[in-house]
Structures are given as structure tokens and as C-alpha cells.
Amino acid sequence: MAKKGILLINLGTPDSPSTADVRKYLDEFLMDPRVIDVNPVLRTFLVKTVIVPFRAPKSAKLYRAIWDEKTGSPLLHYSLLQQQLLQQRLGDEHIVELAMRYQSPSIDSALQRLKEALVGEIQVIPMFPQYASASTGSVHEKVMSIVSTWQTVPPISFINSFHDNDLMIETFADNAAKHNPESYDHVLFSFHGLPQRQLKKCDHTGNYCLKVDGCCNTLNDTNKFCYSAQSHDTARLIAAKMNLPKEKYTVCFQSRLGSDPWVQPYTSEIIAQMAKEGKKRLLIFCPAFVADCLETVYEVTTEYGDEFKALGGEHVQLVESLNAEPKWIEALAGMVN
Ligand SMILES: C=CC1=C(C)c2cc3[nH]c(cc4nc(cc5[nH]c(cc1n2)c(C)c5CCC(=O)O)C(CCC(=O)O)=C4C)c(C)c3C=C
Ligand SMILES: [Fe+2]
Ligand SMILES: [Fe+2]
């Protein structure tokens, strides 16, 4: 019987922390119309002459700080481990490939390998728990654009989101338990940010998202694909698993780019508010990421840690991502089966 091909796709990372490789990575990433979703002329101007020239040397410095001598980028390292462990878990009726939306290993090459392995069908798992056009949507579009040129378009399916996956929620809660959560003054669920206009575009009614008070507090037919509403749902489920009362946690969004409004509240503002309230110890989850990466290791531990301490706080503790946790691999196996 033909094998089933499983294609795990994460965002991507530079090939090395050199400024040239970071520039190449940022250029491919930010020229994606689903990421900088403005008209092509403005996008080209912003990316090529404003963002990348200024950001590449600064980002390269940050990448150098998290780059491991042996294993390189944490995002690629953990993604490769996830691929190997899922392959072991599923056995030889499946072929598990890994690709990155930007840079390497490319989606083109991973699909080619699945084709050459004569798989009977392909399942694509974008490694983003919450759906966003800039992440999941972009992965779907890229895979479809490649496969649509094949003579034989194979049976192919796509995971859309897994923001409420039980085993994923449990893995985050288990990772937090290792840090004695009761010893923290407050818990933050800090998700990757997104421009507000991208949320509004997902609201096909045009009169719900960011227009109705508490639009993200429940999931319903109108906001079921909303990145922010799904993020709030993930946070609620992890908090429930930890028996964390509402007043002990805050949902916030990190990593803004540019001057347009992004999803709020911003993590750096919440960190400042926590310090102002006299809180000393913060526990921070980053449940938009399934693997530790620049945005968790550096942005949370170093940047937010330093900001909090400068304002009188004492300690910021990152809850490790899902990485190679056996329960998370089981969660992935569940998505396949
Ligand atoms: C969780 C999913 C992600 C969404 C949605 C997303 C949207 C998005 N990101 C940027 C800009 C940048 N993101 C950067 C890094 C980065 N982003 C994600 C995931 C999502 N991004 C990950 C996993 C990473 C880390 C990659 C790594 O190598 O570790 C960066 C680069 C780093 C930096 O220079 O700060 C930028 C830039 C935009 C504009 C956007 C949506 C519009
Ligand atoms: Fe990003
Ligand atoms: Fe909303």
C-alpha cells in the first residue's frame, strides 16, 4: 500500500546569523504579500529600502546571540527533532518531511521528495497553532501553487489550526509546572503580534472584529478563524488546565513591526504595567510557537527580562515551547490519524 506523506512546515530562519543571510531571509519573508499586505509598489519600497537595510544588521546580532555552535538556529533544530520523532512514532507507513516557508529546507524540495517516494496522499501541517493569513494561509498558498503545476495533483489535505488541541494544551501546562507557577505574581500569554488590519480582513461580516466589545472573548461562527480570538482560546484552555484564575493572567501580543496598529495589548506595555503594580516575578508563555526561536529565547528572556528589571521587576521566566516533548509528538500523531 502507498505510504502517506506528512509535510511539517514552519516559518523559517536564516541559513546563518551573518547579516547577508539574515537580509536574504527577511527579504523573502517580508516580500510575501500575505505578510506585508500592502500594494506591491509600497511593499517593495518599504521592504527593500526601509525595513530590511535597517533591520538586517540588528536582527543578525540577535540571531548570533541565540545561534548554537553545533545545532544552529533553535527553530530549525527543534523542527528537525520534531520531524524525526514523529517519523519514529508513525513508523514506515508514513514519510514525514520538514520544510520551511522561507529559506531552507524549501517546500519545493520537500514536496519533490514526497513525490519521488511515491506517496499516495499528502497531509500538510503548518506548525502554527492559531490560524493567520501571514503564517498558515501563506503556507497553504505556497503548497497549492507548487502542487497545482504537477501533472498528477495528489490527494492533499491541510490542517488549518490546532489552537485547542488537548495534548498541546497539556504540554504547555506540563512545561509550566516545572517552574512552580504558584511562585509567580502573574502569568502572561504572549502571542506573536499581527497588524490589526489583517484581523479585520478575516471578519467577512465587516462589523464584528474590533468593533464589538470583547470580540475575542468567545469563539463563534464570525470569529472562528480570527488569530486573536483563537489566541485567547488557547490561553483560556492552558489557564483552565493549570487552575489559574482570570485575575492571575493576561493575554498580550509581542513583536510589532512598523507604525500601524497591531493586535493589543502589547506585551511590552503589560510588562511595564506589571512592574508599576509592584509585581516582581512573571511567568511567560508563548503559545503561538511550537518550537523555541528568536521570539521566545531572545525577545522574552533577554529583552522583556531586561525591560522588567529596569522598571523594578526581579525575574521573567519563559515557559519552554513544545520542542521535542513526547506529549506534543503524540499531539502531532493525533492530527495525522
Ligand atoms: C506564529 C506565527 C507567526 C506569525 C503570524 C507571524 C507574523 C509576522 N511576523 C512578522 C515579522 C517578523 N517575524 C519574525 C520572526 C518570527 N516570526 C515567527 C512566526 C510568526 N510570524 C517566528 C517563528 C519567528 C522566528 C524565526 C526564527 O528564526 O527564530 C521576524 C524576524 C526576526 C526579527 O527580525 O525580529 C520578523 C521581521 C510580520 C511582519 C508578521 C505579520 C504581518
Ligand atoms: Fe513573525
Ligand atoms: Fe476579535
pLDDT exceeds cutoff 90 at 258: no
Query: What single string gives the DSSP state of each residue in 141-155?
Result: HHHHHHHTTSSS---
**Domain of 266: which CATH number?**
3.40.50.1400
| 295 & 230 share domain | yes
Taking alpha carbons only, the member of 78, 59, 55 closest to residue 68 is 78
Binding site membership of 228 for ligand 1 (Cβ less than 6 Å): no
pTM summary value? 0.96
| 81 & 28 share domain | yes
| 124 & 212 share domain | no
Per the CB < 8 A criterion, the answer to whether 113 and 51 are in contact is no
What's the pLDDT score for residue 250?
98
Q: What atom in ligand 1 is closest to the CA of residue 258?
A: 39
Known binding residue 295? Answer is yes
| 157 & 174 share domain | no
Ligand whose nearest atom lies closest to the CA of 195: 1
- Domain holding 77, by residue range, is 4-162+326-336
Known binding residue 192? Answer is yes
State the distance from the centre of ligand 2 to the C-alpha of 18, rounded, in angstroms. Answer: 19
| 239 & 113 share domain | no
C-alpha–C-alpha distance, residues 293 and 319, integer Å: 13
Number of structural domains the chain divides into: 2
- Residue 337's pLDDT band, with cuts at 50, 70 and 90, is confident
Per the CB < 8 A criterion, the answer to whether 156 and 57 are in contact is no
Per the CB < 8 A criterion, the answer to whether 228 and 199 are in contact is yes
State which of 23, 64, 160, 255 you would mutate to test the pocket of ligand 1, scoring each by most atoms of that ligand within 8 A of its C-beta: 255
| 199 & 216 share domain | yes
What's the pLDDT score for residue 1?
85
Distance of CA 103 to the CA centre of its chain: 16
Mean pLDDT of all residues belonging to the chain: 97
Neighbours of 335 (CB within 10 A): 15
State the distance from the centre of ligand 2 to the C-alpha of 192, rounded, in angstroms. Answer: 7
What's the pLDDT score for residue 194?
97
